Amino acid sequence: MFSIKNKVIVITGGNGLLGKQMVSTLRDQGAVVIAADIYFEEKNEDDFILDITDENSVKNGVEAIFNKYKRLDGWVNNAYPRTSDWGNKFENIPLDSWRKNVDMHLNGYFLCCQVVLEQMREQGFGSLINMSSIYGLVGPDFTVYEGTEMTMPAAYAAIKGGLNNLTRYLASYYGSSQIRVNTVSPGGIYDNQEDSFVNNYNKKVPLKRMGSPKDIVSAVFYLLTDEASYVTGHNLVVDGGWSII
Ligand SMILES: NC(=O)c1ccc[n+]([C@@H]2O[C@H](COP(=O)([O-])OP(=O)(O)OC[C@H]3O[C@@H](n4cnc5c(N)ncnc54)[C@H](O)[C@@H]3O)[C@@H](O)[C@H]2O)c1
């Protein structure tokens, strides 16, 4: 039960906070995992330079990975491209910045979905996961940011909300080809944020703590296994109960 042994799985943004944990845990579980990212401090054999915002990079990358490994069991859209002014308050967001963020993130995920799902259709199987967020599901509670410089960028709501429904569309479109498409929606992940934010967050969330990368990998793992073979179009929310109150 619940094995991903020998499955070939690509994680975009595989060098980031959640991506690194996905890569190492799934490798520990016996999968052949390719970390696909625009940047690596030190590139290992199964690391792959891929830019989700660049059509040639995605097309050539998927082709090269498929030619090398001869199959593609799983693909996790997990990259997190954003502009340097990400985090501006709503009233200060330049239209161009909004456009760039939607273009890099939502459209980058679209591009990967299109190229990867067509490749999976040819082979006749596959599981694709789009990493979403609680903020694709509910509006932010801005009180948790009080007393900090942090906020929740408006583009994130549009991007992740859009991704949730794009996922349902794709699950329906590719279902007859035996390809599954799901989202995983994490709550806030602890990453040495300011104490006041962490305290505010912990006080509100029913399980009284922020998430960890390991909490999220378990959900990703499940959706990649054959045990999830009847699960598609689902949004697996892993948020300590944040979105149910
Ligand atoms: N960390 C959280 O609290 C949290 C919560 C909810 C959802 N998420 C989602 O989880 C996913 C991963 O988030 P994270 O916190 O690990 O992000 P992160 O910033 O730690 O890592 C993102 C990775 O994406 C890579 N990347 C950026 N632009 C890229 C591009 N154009 N092509 C390929 N790779 C690119 C970066 O180099 C980096 O390694 C994102 O979709 C994010 O929205 C994160």
* Domain assignment present for 3: no
* Domain assignment present for 93: yes
Under a CB-based contact definition with an 8 Å cutoff, are residues 113 and 77 in contact?
A: yes
Query: How many structural domains are present in the chain?
Result: 1
* Domain assignment present for 1: no
The b-or-e profile of 128-149 (16+ CB within 10 A means b, else e) is bbbbbbbbbbbeeeeebbeeee
For residue 156, which atom of ligand 1 is closest to its CA?
43
Strand 235-238 versus strand 126-131 pairing type: unpaired
Domain that holds residue 71: 8-239
pLDDT digits (tens, 9 = 90+) for 87-115: 999 999 999 999 999 999 999 999 999 99
Mean pLDDT of 150-162: 97
Residue with tokens 């690509």: 10
Asked whether residue 1 carries a pLDDT value surpassing 90, the answer given is no
* Domain assignment present for 123: yes
* Domain assignment present for 2: no
Q: Is 173 known to be catalytic? A: no
Residues 29/33/38/42 CA torsion (nearest 10 deg): 70
* Domain assignment present for 29: yes
Mean pLDDT of 151-178: 98
Pocket test for ligand 1, best of 80, 112, 159, 237 (most atoms within 8 A of CB): 80
For residue 54, which atom of ligand 1 is closest to its CA?
31
Task: Please report, for the domain that includes residue 139, its CATH number.
Answer: 3.40.50.720
pLDDT digits (tens, 9 = 90+) for 212-244: 999 999 999 999 999 999 999 999 999 999 999
Q: What percent of the chain has pLDDT over 70?
A: 100
Does the pTM surpass 0.85? The reply is: yes
